[in-house]
């Protein structure tokens, strides 16, 4: 099969490698669409330590079942499926509690780090455990289904803190996760939603999705603007979807007294914490990692048009063009948000 391999920092090769075979409890999926995630783009230069070459990246994907391994009876060849990006064991303490995103033996597709190496879906085929598979509604395209994973992350984030009806929400970062949060926060009960970013095109996308206000933070005065929008009070809840020092600091300072902040972005492993802001304003801080069971609900809502991936899709391209698209995304080309690669088009 063909696979797009990160062979060195910032370098990809499309190579022929052996097609994997499913073992007991596993399924071989023929990939039809795989999204380039922001974590792949950030990781390709080696800065995160979670994309160590050589590795086949890719974890936002959908396709059809090509073969099943021994003991698999619930799935048949040619079924249309998507799958969780997290491979969980299903047996540890956290898995038994339904906290599969916190599994003691958790692996993520397309990640190679100090602890493990797990091949991803920028390839003709990938093997996954049957327990992370989900059937696709008939009216969902493979490209749309490949974007379910970011929506599950957004829904998991809004579920970390229960919104009171008509609460105000601030979303910092209008990348894929941030724009998914705009849609999911509204469904979760937030009444007024404000978005922050430094890119005009992404703020315009937020406006297109119905955000109440969009604030550009490039000039360094965004906190004053945000507090003015709330009459000096601050927001009931803030979702931080970037993960760098400046945006985390803004998130904490823009929350109202007694409010909450959910940290979703994690581009940098460490950021300074304005401790007095957190303590004296009695803020609640929530970490949010991946998803934990949100796939069925997200698939149903997307199939019924309650959430939509189509406005977030910038391009669909064959796998052989992957290196060029990665480069364009890495350079933050204006107007580019989500790119889907289609392995079957590369052959």
- Residue-range domain boundaries for the chain: 2-147+309-346, 152-287
Give per-residue pLDDT as tens, 177-206: 999 999 999 999 999 999 999 999 999 999
More confident residue, 175 or 49: 175
Residue 347 pLDDT exceeds 90: no
DSSP state of 20: P
Are 118 and 109 contacting, i.e. CB atoms less than 8 angstroms apart? yes
The fold for domain 2-147+309-346 equals: Quinone Oxidoreductase; Chain A, domain 1 (3.90.180)
Q: Which tokens belong to 227?
A: 């507090």
- pLDDT top residue among 154 and 335: 154
Q: Is the pLDDT of residue 305 over 90?
A: yes
pLDDT in tens, 26-74: 999 999 999 999 999 989 998 888 999 999 999 999 999 999 999 999 9
Q: How many Å apart are CA 336 and CA 346, to the nearest integer? A: 22
Residue 268: predicted pLDDT = 87
Residue 345 pLDDT class (50, 70, 90 cuts): very low
Cβ(27)–Cβ(65) below 8 Å:
yes
pTM for the model: 0.94
Q: Choose which CATH entry (2.40.10.340, 3.40.50.720, 3.40.50.300, 3.40.50.2300) describes domain 152-287.
A: 3.40.50.720
> Looking at the predicted structure, is the pLDDT value of residue 341 above 80?
yes
Q: At what angle do helices 200-208 and 176-187 cross, to 10 degrees?
A: 30
Q: What is the mean pLDDT of residues 272-280?
A: 97
Checking if the pLDDT of 167 tops 60, the result is yes
State the average pLDDT over residues 316-332.
96
C-alpha span between 209 and 199 (Å, rounded)? 16
- Encode burial over 324-338: b for 16+ CB neighbours within 10 A, e otherwise: ebbebbeeeeeebbb
């Amino acid at each position: 099969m063909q696979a797009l391999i990160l062979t060195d920092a910032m370098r990809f090769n499309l190579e022929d490698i052996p097609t994997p075979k499913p073992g007991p409890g596993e399924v071989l999926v023929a990939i039809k669409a795989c999204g380039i995630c922001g974590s792949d783009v950030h990781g390709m230069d080696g800065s995160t330590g979670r994309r160590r070459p050589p590795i086949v990246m890719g974890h936002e994907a959908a396709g059809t079942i090509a073969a099943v391994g021994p003991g698999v009876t619930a799935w048949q060849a040619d079924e249309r499926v998507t799958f969780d990006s997290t491979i969980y064991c299903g047996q540890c303490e956290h898995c038994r509690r339904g906290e599969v995103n916190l599994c003691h033996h958790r692996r993520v597709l397309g990640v190679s780090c100090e602890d493990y190496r797990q091949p991803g879906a920028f390839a003709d085929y990938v093997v996954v455990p049957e327990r992370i598979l989900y059937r696709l509604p008939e009216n969902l395209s493979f490209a749309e289904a490949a974007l379910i994973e970011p929506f599950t992350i957004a829904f998991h984030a809004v579920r970390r803190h229960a919104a009171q009806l008509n609460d105000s929400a601030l979303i910092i970062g209008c990348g894929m996760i941030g724009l998914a949060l705009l849609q999911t926060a509204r469904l979760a009960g937030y009444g007024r939603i404000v978005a922050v970013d430094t890119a005009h095109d992404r703020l315009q996308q937020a406006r297109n999705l119905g955000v109440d206000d969009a604030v550009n933070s490039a000039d360094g005065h965004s906190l004053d603007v945000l507090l003015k929008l709330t009459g000096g009070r601050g927001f009931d809840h803030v979702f931080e979807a970037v993960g760098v020092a400046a945006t985390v600091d803004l998130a904490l300072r823009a929350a109202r007294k007694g409010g909450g902040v959910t940290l979703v972005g994690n581009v940098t492993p460490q950021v300074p914490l304005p401790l007095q802001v957190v303590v004296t304003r009695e803020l609640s801080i929530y970490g949010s990692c991946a998803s934990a069971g949100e796939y069925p609900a997200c698939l149903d809502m997307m199939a019924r048009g309650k959430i939509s991936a189509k406005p977030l899709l910038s391009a669909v391209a064959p796998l052989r063009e992957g290196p060029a698209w990665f480069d364009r995304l890495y350079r933050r080309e204006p107007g580019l948000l989500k790119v889907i690669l289609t392995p079957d088009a590369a052959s």
